[in-house]
Structure formats: C-alpha cells, structure tokens
Structure 1
C-alpha cells in the first residue's frame, strides 16, 4: 500500500491517470486510512474525474473533520455543472476554517465561476482579497497574481494585467519557485519563508493600484530592499513605466555608466589593460625579466 501511495505522488503531475491507478490500488488495501482517500481524491481531481474526486473528498472530510480541501470540492461541483452547490459550499461556515492558502484557492475557483457566468468584473472582485498584496510573497502569491492578471484582462485593464504578471515572476524569484531553481538571497533572520513571506518590490506602484492587505492570519513578511521612495529599482535601459521592463532587474540599483558621475573607479585593476601582461599574470615577472635581457642583446622590441 505504501509503495502505491509513493508512486501516486510521483506521477501526480506527469501522469495523473497512472497516479490515480496507484492511489486506487492503495485504496483496495487501506480504504479506511484517511491519507489513502485523500491521495485518491487529489489524483482523481488532477485526472479530471470530478465525480470520483468529490466522493473521495467528502469521505476524507468525514474521516478527519478537516475543511482544507473545500476549494477542490467547490471546483468539482463547478466542473460537474452544479454552480448552486458550488456557491453553497463556498459561502458555508466551513470557509472560516481555511488558512490563507485555502482562501486564495477558493477565491481563484470563485473567479473562474464568475467568468463561466459571463461576469468579468465579478471575477476581479472575487480575487480582491487581503492576500492579494503585491508587496508580500508567499507560496500562493504567484498563482494568485496570475489569476488576478487574467481577470483584469477580462475587463480590459491590460496595462495592470502586465504589471501583475510581472510581479508573479518577481515573487517566484524571491521564493525560489517556478522557473527559478534557487531563491534570491533574502535575509530571513533564520525564519521559514513559508511562514514569514518575502517582501517584494512593487513593480506596478505607478499604475494607481494599492496593495489590498498583508498575508493571512499569523503571517509576517520579511523586508527586502526596494529603491528609494518605495518603488522597485528599474533598469534604466528598460525605458519608462510602460509595463515591459525586465522583471529580473527588480530590486537592483544600477550605477551610472559615466565615471564622472560615479565619482570613483569601480575597477582599479583595469588601468593597465591593453598591453601590460604583468597585470594579467603577476607570476610571470621572472620570465619578463629574462625576455627583457634577451631583447637587449638581440635588438629593440617591436613598437
């Protein structure tokens, strides 16, 4: 049974159907174990078997009393064409038991429901939750930022959508997730970024959007550097605030290219570049002395 659970987790993203087969095999041996029912539910959800996923999610909730998968249950009802049931679940008292990540997932599901109903502004409103804070980065932030960007495009606010898409990449860079294999260097003071969050440079401060709130209850973000004035530093070559600057330059402070403006030499070792071999390899001084002696005997060196 344990082996099947491990295999279900391994294939969940790449081959959900195969993951579901392993989870069901584990269920035949340990159907009374909550973790087995949970694994089956999630595998069925990823495989698009909404009815089975909902059945297993309900069973898991009865066995544990946990509401953590409420957003998935709402989404299953939505996918099965039962929006009334979905809304009933999404507005139930159980929502109060969700943590910040759960509230984000539920908001994303509700936004999808609004779009299905042709209510583009409703999708924007559904995602306007306290966790939608461009200055704080948590594990759920990139997904929430992109969902909000998609909702903004639905109401014609394309410029703001670009800024939120860009901020999603900034969040991934700071958290070390998504396309970034390693996190940026952030002073976390020994705390877990999953719990504390990471403060993000505000890429879209000039778009007139203000952060709607901090992270979920009990969460505290850690400060990262931003440019003077509260805005994220911008690469001068990226142009004006047209929403197209490179997000990887966020948080960096570029020095002026003119030495007169810098007021100091940033590379004092380059004064001898362009012909002084001793500067490039100080260990060859003896060879140079020997060459000079030979050159004195053979004739003048080439100028």
Structure 2
C-alpha cells in the first residue's frame, strides 16, 4: 500500500489508448492512462499555507474597516448598529439560501450513504499519509474516519477492481466534497476506471482548491479519452506546463505525443519527445517510459531501425517489468 491514497495509480502513465500508438503498454489488462503528479500534494499544501497567511492579513484589514465604520456610525447616533444588524441578517438569509437545505437534501444524503460499498472492519487508516489525515480533520471525527477508510479501499482496489475502487472514491467525495484530497482520489479512480469526463471534472475541482500544476498529464490524457487530442496539445503549451519538474514534463510529453498520433501527426510526436532529450544511457522507470514512447513514435513515423534501438533500451532499464518493450522489439524483428 502506498503512503498516499493515489500514488499507486500514478506511476505508469500511458501516452495512448490501448493498442494505439504513443503509449507504453502495460502487462496488466487494465487500461492505465496517465499521470504522476501525486508528489505535488506537499508543495500545494505549502502554497495553501502561504495563501492562508495572506488571507489572515486580509481578514485583519477587513475587521479594521468594520471597526472604523462602526465607530463612525456610533458617533452619528447608533444608526450603525441598526445597519450592521440589517446587513448581518441579509448575509445570514443569503447563506441559508445558498446552503444545501433544499427539499429532500437530507433524504438524498442518507440514501447515498445507504448505498455506499461495504467497508472491512480491519482497516487501519493510519497507513495513509499523515498529511491526508490532517486534511480530513476539518470533518467530524466519525465522518473523517469513514472518508479515510473509503479512500484506503479506493487505493487498494485500483488495480484489481477499478469499478469498485471508483465507488469507494465517490463515497469519500460525497462525504467530503470540499476536501481537495477526496476530490483528487475520486478523479484518479474515475481515470483508472475509464470515466474520463468525471475524472477531468474532479481533478479540475481539486486543483481549484489546492493550486499548483498537478495532474496535468492525467487531465491531458482524459481529453484524449474524450476524443479531444487537440486540447491535450494545448495543455502542453500552457504556463502551468512550464512549472513541471522533469519527471512531470516527461509524463505530460508522453501524453502529448500520443495526442499527436491520435491526430495522425507521427513526425510531430517524434519531435515532441525529442524535446525531452531521450538518452540511451539513461536509467529509471520514467526514462524507460520515455524511451518506449519515443520508439513507438518512431515506428509510426516509419523509422523502424531507430525504433528497435529504443525499444531495446526501454526493455533494458524497465526494472519493474511494466512495459512490453521486448514483445514490441520481437514484432519488429
């Protein structure tokens, strides 16, 4: 079990759909599209802390302004208190209208919880990353524990039963819709289950809450899954893409190359990956994936002899045996 609920399912991004170009194909039967941005959680949390400090300062200035206005109104004979009460009443009324108090809301929430997937009794939520548990402390104790258990099950089932994993992730999101980590888990689970639209929506929501360039490769691959490869290419040109570290840039580049192949632009796919500087002396899982994707693009461009060299290199450094580079090389030979 990974120490984060979603890191297990971000280690093997695909640059393409099953049996199509631009993607390392896994030995697993499950469709695994893209993404390796879970490491951004801590960075995003730090940025949230900075925003929180700025927010506190803004709140302080706002309190000062209220105080000044109240003093002026009091000097005028107490009219300020009346106006302040009227404003407060209007704000409470507005809040009540916007709060989820519509008819049948409580029944709907109860029905959702009655249809949640069962949870084993022996789940130890402390296996989860401490920062995840910290994020859940905004919830009541019982609800936070239930959310953590559903997130644990979602991560555990991601490979073997992605549909059931998604049910657990949805249950966590329904209980904690304003917690970014719950939305992230739902988004990644939906992605692994092939629910591209849901995955894209949830990951966008998570990024609005937490900020940062995380999950770009996953989101770009969702665009491909929805038949919009041009949008994936656009994401590669965004300012956020320039914020990615090398590993994140490689993952996004693999997806963009796959999008180029979707658009029948093999030479553009080759150029996209060349910009990431593939190296025949490189090592590590991410470089194995880059070498594989580069070889796949070379095949699509008709450069088979070059492709053999890169498939051989991908197979050599694929220590976890996640790629089918040896089989691809055999096919070409």
TM-score (norm 1): 0.55
Q: What corresponds to 2:207 in structure 1? A: 61
Check 1:108–1:30 CA distance in 2 against 1; reply closer, same or farther (3 A cut). Answer: same
Distance in 2, Cα, partners of 1:77 & 1:147: 19
Cα 1:131–1:3, aligned 2, differ >3 Å: closer, same or farther? Answer: farther
Contact 2:229 2:262 in 1 (8 A): no
User: Out of 95, 98, 104, which is 2:244 matched to?
Assistant: 98
What residue in structure 2 maps to residue 235 of structure 1?
A: none
Residue in 1 aligned with 2:267?
Answer: 121
SS at 1:137's partner residue? coil
Tell me: CA distance 1:103–1:17, structure 2 relative to 1, closer, same or farther (3 Å).
same
After superposition, the Cα gap between the structure-2 partners of 1:10 and 1:66, relative to the gap in structure 1 and judged at 3 Å, is same
Q: 4+ residue runs of structure 1 moved beyond 4 angstroms?
A: none
Q: What are the Cα deviations for residues 230-278 of structure 1, in whole angstroms up to 9, with x where unaligned? A: xxxxxxxxxxxxx88xxxxxxxxxxxxxxxxxxxxxxxxxxxxxxxxxx
Partner of 2:321: 178
Instruction: Name which of 143, 156, 173 aligns with 1:10.
Output: 156
Corresponding residue for residue 165 of structure 1? 311
Shift of 1:131: 4.5
Give structure 1 stretches of 5+ with no counterpart: 181-242, 245-303
Higher relative contact order (CA 8 A, sep 6+): 2
Deviation at 1:86, TM superposition (A): 2.7
Matched-pair contact (CA < 8 Å) for 2:166–2:190:
yes
TM normalised by structure 2 equals: 0.51
Q: Does 1:27 align with 2:170?
A: no
CA distance in 2, matches of 1:92, 1:66: 13
Deviation per residue, 1:157-193 (Å, 9 max, x gap): 22221221111122123xxx2269xxxxxxxxxxxxx
1:138 is displaced (CA, Å) by 2.9
Q: Structure 1 pair 111/179, CA: closer, same or farther in 2 (3 Å)?
A: closer
The residue number in structure 2 matching 1:46 is: 192
Deviation string, structure 1 residues 206-251 (Cα, Å, up to 9, x no partner): xxxxxxxxxxxxxxxxxxxxxxxxxxxxxxxxxxxxx88xxxxxxx
Structure 1 contact 71–90 (Cα < 8 Å) conserved: no
How far the C-alpha of 1:103 sits from its partner, in A, is 0.7
Secondary structure of the residue aligned to 1:43 is helix
Larger CA Rg, structure 1 vs 2: 1
> Where do 5+ consecutive residues of structure 2 fail to align?
1-146, 324-328
Q: Aligned equivalents of 2:159 and 2:313: distance in 1?
A: 25
Q: Let me know the Cα RMSD of the aligned residues.
A: 1.9
More helix by share: 2
Instruction: Determine which of 217, 233, 256 is the counterpart of 1:87.
Output: 233
Output the CA distance in 1 between the equivalents of 2:262 and 2:241.
22
